[in-house]
Structure 1
């Protein structure tokens, strides 16, 4: 990468590298999830989540967690991990103590954990990112 801001493709490449490096038990579940990288979260998503500042949402899992899926579920859209470039870059600048690769990997894995049915509290027990 150059000194210019990372592109959507740069962030996607980091996320895909993160997913490719998963331990074997998680590879199949991760392969079922679509990855989407866009600049900003959509306003309807922010409204639904009651988030006023779009910089507060770096990623989102949109789908039915594996722990709640049923063979009776008819998929309307693929389960998706959304990464939001501008909020990620804002958090990167605010933190100053992590690399882009570390931050994108963290957001990607956090959202993938929701796909596996983990709550934010479950994730926080093993990923103490804020420390």
Structure 2
């Protein structure tokens, strides 16, 4: 298979911008939360959990609100919720609602980087489509 000379891929050591944005958000969130919850449906989510844990904040992976345990939040004053780039927004919302029902308080979205990156098909593929 021949490489398309019009495709310019990032260097291999880089992670995608969506993953980097989420890791940066966890780093910013960790000093302000006692627990981080995320979805285990991708390796990105697992890296977010590892990052929070490495910064001494308990982090749990759940893919269904039913898996959330009230004990996780007993002494928590503030809880952070994050999700990998592939996690569905609807699932993240359900997890936030489940946590909110166990641990009353305000839900405050963290402002992050707006993701506006668009990927276009190479010229030859675009013409064929």
Instruction: Return the structure number with greater helix share.
Output: 1
CA radius of gyration, larger in:
2
User: Do they superpose with TM above 0.5?
Assistant: no
Give TM-score, length-normalised by structure 2: 0.28
TM (norm. structure 1) is 0.28
